[in-house]
Amino acid sequence: MSENEKIILKGLDLKELENWVTEIGEKPFRAKQVFHWMYKQGAMSISEMTNLSKKFLKKSDSKTVISLLKIKLVAASKIDDTRKYLFQLKDGELIESVYMNDGKRVTLCLSTMVGCNIGCPYCATGLMGYKRKLTTGEIIDQFFVINNSEDNPITNVVFMGMGEPFLNYENSIKAAKILNNEAGPALSNRHITISTCGIIPAIKKIADQGYRFNLAISLNGSNNRQRDELVPINTKYPINDLLEAAKYYYKKIHRKITFEYILIKDFNDTPEDAKRLIKMLSSLPCKLNIIPFNENSHVKYKCPDENTINKFMNLIIKAPFVVTIRRSKGQDISAACGQLYAEHS
């Protein structure tokens, strides 16, 4: 049987696995066993599932695929405990994922697309162009391959890698649900964050569907002129409309949204920007992350100097909502926010 004819199990939920085992003449309880082995034990083939019958193993092993990613390269930071994984997919395309170890908190930054179709000029991924969406299996396989490769297990997942998760909504949400499942990795809702550049229909959709994963929105501008340049989708979903969608989400879910604000030299780093942000967000229960820009060779923007950053923070910290400054990890291996750019060698 060719690879293209095999059944891809990674990414199937319990109901889909039950349909599959029934189709091959097995009892539905086998689905729970396969689910446990794939998503709890991290098995990468049917043959690893030792409590399944020999008949089932023989019938299924050569006809199924579980492992979808191949590690092509691992880059380790010399300044912190961060590693960037370059993965090759079955069709030869490449994606990157970032593993960040902070002691008790171990975070994985997941990709949801090959490239990105938003085209933010500050982001190296956006300059790659867009190739395709990742399947649910390809999204979660990043978690399992890396978790199997590292000594310290992953405790938190952020959908902040390559691609816009809300433009791959169904696969991203399904992946988050599998990671959240008690019979699988059992990551709590609060340990799963989905980051969006501001796709308003999807923000309302996730609110209406009642999913309680953390939501982060890349704001990056204190007015529409700035945001139109940095986040081109803002021309379709401008700031005022985005804030209304954020309020709608909060009323439905009762969970604070995190706004991300990348601080860029001579662009959005002035005292006036800080004051506008305070005014803009004060009516919404939220958290604001200030991220000094991570420079890379693919883009023109620069990081403000420390004096400018300090002046900005001294003003914004007076806001009536939580404000933090986030220094991205893995900058020396281009693993920080906005630096992911998977290249063929």
Q: For the domain that residue 129 is a member of, what is the CATH number? A: 3.20.20.70
- SS3 label, residue 98: strand
| HSE value, Cβ hemisphere, 13 Å, CA-based, for 115 | 12
Question: In the chain, what is the straight-line distance between the N-terminal and C-terminal CA atoms, in Å?
Answer: 31
Same domain, 158 and 42: no
Average pLDDT over all residues of the chain:
91
Mean pLDDT confidence for 323-341? 59
Distance CA 188, CA 197 (A): 23
Q: Is 120 a catalytic site residue?
A: no
For residue range 251-262, list pLDDT tens digits in order: 999 999 999 999
Q: Which of 18, 26, 96, 138 is catalytic?
A: 96
Write down the pLDDT at residue 332.
54
Write down the pLDDT at residue 340.
42
Does 235 have pLDDT greater than 50?
A: yes
Task: Tell me whether residue 101 is in a domain.
Answer: yes
Q: Which of 109, 286, 303, 337 is catalytic?
A: 337
Same domain, 317 and 168: yes
Q: Where would I find the beta strands (DSSP E) of 103-203?
A: 105-109, 113-115, 130-133, 156-159, 192-196
Mean pLDDT confidence for 108-129? 90
CA angle, residues 11, 14, 19, in degrees to nearest 5: 95
Does 23 have pLDDT greater than 50?
A: yes
For residue range 129-178, list pLDDT tens digits in order: 899 999 999 999 999 999 999 999 999 999 999 999 999 999 999 999 99
Write down the pLDDT at residue 103.
83
Task: Tell me whether residue 339 is in a domain.
Answer: no
Same domain, 157 and 45: no
Mean pLDDT confidence for 223-245? 97
Banded model confidence at residue 59, pLDDT cuts 50, 70, 90: confident
> Among the three residues 65, 82, 117, which one is the final residue of a domain in this structure?
65
> Among the three residues 23, 43, 65, which one is the final residue of a domain in this structure?
65
CA angle, residues 322, 326, 331, in degrees to nearest 5: 170
Write down the pLDDT at residue 335.
47
Is residue 329 within 8 A of residue 80, CB to CB? The reply is yes
| pTM of the complete model | 0.92
For residue range 292-320, list pLDDT tens digits in order: 998 877 778 999 999 999 999 999 999 99
Does 114 have pLDDT greater than 60?
A: yes
How many angstroms separate the Cα of 189 from the Cα of each of 98, 181, 194, 213, 227?
20, 10, 10, 5, 29
Does 284 have pLDDT greater than 90?
A: yes
> Among the three residues 65, 94, 112, which one is the final residue of a domain in this structure?
65
Report which DSSP code applies to 286.
Answer: E
Task: Tell me whether residue 130 is in a domain.
Answer: yes
Same domain, 234 and 88: yes
Same domain, 28 and 124: no
Task: Tell me whether residue 340 is in a domain.
Answer: no
Write down the pLDDT at residue 344.
45
Task: Tell me whether residue 342 is in a domain.
Answer: no
Same domain, 245 and 263: yes
Reading the block at residue 153, the tokens are 């297990």
Same domain, 109 and 195: yes
How many angstroms separate the Cα of 317 from the Cα of each of 194, 274, 289?
25, 9, 11
Q: Is 337 a catalytic site residue?
A: yes
Mean pLDDT confidence for 189-215? 97
Reading the block at residue 53, the tokens are 């019958």
Domain residues for 322? 70-333
Write down the pLDDT at residue 1.
55
Report which DSSP code applies to 22.
Answer: H
Same domain, 166 and 307: yes
Greater confidence, 27 or 5?
A: 27
Same domain, 107 and 91: yes
Does 328 have pLDDT greater than 90?
A: no
Number of domains comprising the chain: 2
